[in-house]
Amino acid sequence: MMKMRRISDLPRYARVWQRYLLRELRHLQMTEHTFMVVVAVFIGLLGGVGAIFFRFAIRFFQGVFFGNWQYSLDYVLQLPWYVKLFAPAAGGLIVGPIVFYFAREARGHGVPEVMESVVLRGGAIRPRVMIAKVTASAVSIGSGGSVGREGPIVQIGSAIGSTVGQILKVAGSQLRTLVACGTAAGIAATFNAPIAGALFAMEVILSDFGISQFSPIVVSSVAATVVSRRFLGDFSAFIIPHYELISVYEMIPYVILGVLAAFVALTFINILYKVEDVFEKLPIPALIKPILGGLIIGAIGIYFPHIFGVGYDTITLALTGQLTWYFLLFLVLLKLIATSVTIGSGGSGGIFAPSLFLGANLGGFIGTLVHSLFPTITATPGAYALVGMGAVASGAMHAPITAIIIIFELTDDYRIILPLMISCIISVLITTRLKEDSIYTLKLSRRGINLREGKEVNVLHSLQVSEVLSKEVECVPEDAPLSNLMDLIVKSPHPNFFVVDRDNHFLGIISIHDIRTLIYDTDVLHSLVIARDLMSPGYYYFTPEDTLDLVMKAFGELNVDELPVVNNINEKKLIGTVSKNDVIAIYNREVLKRDMATSISSYINSMEKFKRIELMDGQVLSEIEVPGDFVNLTLQELDLRKRYGIEVVLIKQNYDPDKKEAQKVIPPHPGYRFHFGDSILVMGPRGSIENLLKRKKRSSKKRKE
């Protein structure tokens, strides 16, 4: 697995700039909050520049693949069929190596990876992700991939914020805030919507509206918007129709639109991940899959190039009522397929713009029908298309506030708020009721990560069979007669016997319950029945690398107490067993460890003033998040006993980059290297603890709150 590059491994000139920045910041006598705001402005400016650069990169690759930098739907409609067919495939040929050899995080829509880094890695993102995401997404979109630019710019902005934070050696909580600042900057610069950018960062990325985070995020969002307006102008992303609420009865079709938008959002989520699973199972090299996906997109685009790229031209047509009702409905289906194929095959790009595309066409479809039936009491189809954009996006993201505000900022018209709120809230209520995960969090839940808890959903998911493997196994040759099996029942303490061939290959299982039914017929059957006749086929077997959650599911389906463990799935040589009691025992042990760690942390954190426990003789027990300049250093290198006179009792590891485990409590050892977001439980004199707490608050900046 590719390891995260440490800041200490940066080139010499980068380390010189790092020391220079830290020295200058120390000279500024500012509070921690002021420092965060200053850094947020810097990240906002960089995020705005990054968003502009990304847009020009997309234009550049559109010129490369389609022959014109001024890409438009009218232009693509006139291109030869072979250009539309092979351009997305050529893009897939380039994207594949970037993703699989340079940065795996650049694959897909990117937002889940940012959410995971914030919760599980303290906000640490590899700087190379920014370069890989810019290139891969610009190529995907520029070559016609049916994805948006909002997801990539979120990952790009987040990488900028994380890199700046790591260079300045801020603490993990501050690093998470700076990541959110980069996210807000990217969204704000892309849509010219500073409020929506800030709310997206807090609602989707952080899931937290804390006051301490609010100011830096808003400042970063505003700074990015200023940069965007300076170079791109103060324009909306779409041509927005005039909106007017004609009649109170018009709320009825908006309610219907909210319901339909919810089911479109659910369909989008389900199809996206089903197509991804299909491509995962294809028996072809991973580098070929983006090319295959590109050919499918190109085949659709020969006749319907509306699905190419971000699709803003088609959204504008829906908003201005220039498409027929049946074509609007058909485009919803095409976009569902095209976006799912692009991302599922390994392409790089966002799903927010496709959500807007689906909503605009769905809303345009509803608006066209309603306006044709009731022209005097309903608005034009464009108004419904606009509301549909927010409704589908909010249902897919489970983020109604962001969707409502972003549409409001696009229209700059308060009169759209009432129907927009109705449709968005109805859409979210239905989608959250029918599907707990959003289109972002589902990707992480499928990996066993629950961001709401900040830890593994299933304790057993992080444990392997090798940890409970027993080498004591009762093997029975496949040709063993019944009389031998009866002897085993008497002598063996095991309830199950595993049938193997002459080469020790696992064949099946015989339960003691299966043999007991033949006890009274032993005299007749002892030479007629052999082990192969009694065994149940070995459909369930595991390797030492399998996780115990899979084993526990098998125990739930079978009436057995032991299951076989083989060396690998190809040879299937029996090497041991795993028992239900051992799995339950290790589960209880891990739960107890985590509960104890949580209890200690909760008790300490309940101390209102200093979040610590006063012991005898002036000794203090306190949990502290490690300062930023402790990151990538070992306990031996820090030598906290000599420097501060304190003892490290335990380490709460927020994320293990090698095993991908969250919230793991480990005993201290000299070689442990700290990561962003780690905490330590320390014990020592009150004054020593306070000195370390001051260092944590001020981190490397040496500023006192």
pLDDT the model gives residue 387: 92
Q: How far apart are CA 445 and CA 337, in angstroms?
A: 23
Is 292's pLDDT higher than 80? yes
CATH for 31-232? 1.10.3080.10
Least confident of 259-268, 316-325, 507-516: 507-516
For residue 315, give every residue at least 6 positions away whose Cβ sits within 8 Å of its Cβ, in sequence order, or none: 238, 356, 357, 360, 385, 389
pLDDT the model gives residue 518: 60
CATH for 607-701? 3.30.70.1450
Least confident of 45-54, 356-365, 575-584, 601-610: 601-610
- Across the chain, mean pLDDT equals 78
Same fold, 248-285+306-450 and 607-701: no
Is 359's pLDDT higher than 70? yes
Q: How far apart are CA 326 and CA 12, in angstroms?
A: 61
Which DSSP state fits 250?
Answer: G
pLDDT the model gives residue 640: 78
pLDDT above 70 covers a percentage of the chain that reads 77
Q: List the one residue out of 20, 418, 440, 432 whose CA is nearest residue 251.
A: 418
Question: Which element (helix H / strand E) includes 625?
Answer: strand 619-625
Write out the two tokens for 505: 């290959």
In CATH, what is the architecture of 248-285+306-450? Answer: Orthogonal Bundle (1.10)
The number of beta carbons lying within 10 Å of the beta carbon of residue 326 is 10
pLDDT the model gives residue 3: 38
Q: How confident is the model at residue 335 (pLDDT cuts 50, 70, 90)?
A: very high
DSSP letters, 169-203, are T--HHHHHHHHHHHHHHHHHHHHT-HHHHHHHIII
pLDDT the model gives residue 339: 92
Q: 178 vs 453, which has greater pLDDT? A: 178
Counting DSSP H helices and E strands in the chain, the numbers are: 28, 13
Q: 74 vs 691, which has greater pLDDT? A: 74
CATH for 465-584? 3.10.580.10
The number of beta carbons lying within 10 Å of the beta carbon of residue 572 is 19
pLDDT the model gives residue 519: 58
Q: How confident is the model at residue 271 (pLDDT cuts 50, 70, 90)?
A: very high
Pair 497, 509: CB distance under 8 Å: yes
Mean pLDDT of 241-245: 72
Question: Which element (helix H / strand E) includes 296?
Answer: helix 289-303
Q: 206 vs 267, which has greater pLDDT? A: 267
Write out the two tokens for 337: 């397929």
Q: How far apart are CA 261 and CA 393, in angstroms?
A: 9
Mean pLDDT of 245-273: 91
pLDDT above 90 covers a percentage of the chain that reads 14
Mean pLDDT of 111-129: 75
Is 1's pLDDT higher than 80? no
- Residue corresponding to tokens 């994805």: 147
Q: 299 vs 637, which has greater pLDDT? A: 299
3-state DSSP assignment of residue 65: helix
pLDDT the model gives residue 15: 55
Q: 107 vs 152, which has greater pLDDT? A: 152
Mean pLDDT of 262-270: 94
Q: List the one residue out of 268, 370, 260, 263 whose CA is nearest residue 325.
A: 370
Mean pLDDT of 208-237: 80
**In what side-by-side order are the strands of the sheet with 619-625?**
612-614, 619-625, 679-685, 647-656, 661-666
**Residue ranges per structural domain of the chain:** 31-232, 248-285+306-450, 465-584, 607-701
Paired residues of 449 in beta bridges: 456
Q: How far apart are CA 702 and CA 705, in angstroms?
A: 10
Paired residues of 213 in beta bridges: none
Is 2's pLDDT higher than 60? no
3-state DSSP assignment of residue 449: strand
Select, from the ranges 200-209, 359-368, 609-618, the one with the highest average predicted confidence (pLDDT): 359-368
Mean pLDDT of 313-342: 91
Pair 349, 423: CB distance under 8 Å: no
Tens-digit pLDDT profile for residues 413-433 = 777 888 999 999 999 999 999
Pair 508, 499: CB distance under 8 Å: yes
Q: How far apart are CA 56 and CA 262, in angstroms?
A: 34
Pair 64, 87: CB distance under 8 Å: no
pLDDT the model gives residue 703: 39
pLDDT the model gives residue 455: 44
Tens-digit pLDDT profile for residues 376-414 = 888 888 889 999 999 999 999 888 888 888 888 877 777
pLDDT the model gives residue 364: 92
- Residue corresponding to tokens 């969250």: 662
Pair 129, 683: CB distance under 8 Å: no
Q: How far apart are CA 627 and CA 494, in angstroms?
A: 53
Pair 517, 556: CB distance under 8 Å: no
Is 516's pLDDT higher than 70? no
Is 110's pLDDT higher than 80? no
Q: 662 vs 485, which has greater pLDDT? A: 485
- Residue corresponding to tokens 């914020």: 161
Is 269's pLDDT higher than 80? yes
pLDDT the model gives residue 523: 54
Q: How far, rounded to the nearest angstrom, does the alpha carbon of residue 304 sit from its chain's CA centroid? A: 31
Tens-digit pLDDT profile for residues 641-676 = 777 778 777 777 765 544 445 556 676 777 788 877
Tens-digit pLDDT profile for residues 581-606 = 888 887 777 666 555 554 454 444 44
User: Which pairs from 111-114 meet CB under 8 Å and 24+ separation?
Assistant: 111/151, 111/154, 111/155, 111/204, 111/205, 111/350, 111/440, 112/440, 112/441, 112/443, 112/444, 113/155, 114/154, 114/155, 114/158, 114/179, 114/183, 114/205
Least confident of 236-250, 300-314, 648-662: 648-662
Paired residues of 350 in beta bridges: 148
Q: How far apart are CA 358 and CA 343, in angstroms?
A: 16
Tens-digit pLDDT profile for residues 164-177 = 888 887 766 778 88
Least confident of 112-121, 172-181, 318-327, 602-611: 602-611
Please report, for residues 8, 172, 691, 696, the alpha-carbon distance to residue 705 in angstroms, rounded to integers and kept in the order given.
28, 17, 13, 11
Is 447's pLDDT higher than 90? no
Strand extents, DSSP E, 33-130: none
Select, from the ranges 186-195, 515-524, 532-541, 671-680, the one with the highest average predicted confidence (pLDDT): 186-195
Is 623's pLDDT higher than 70? yes
Q: How confident is the model at residue 448 (pLDDT cuts 50, 70, 90)?
A: low
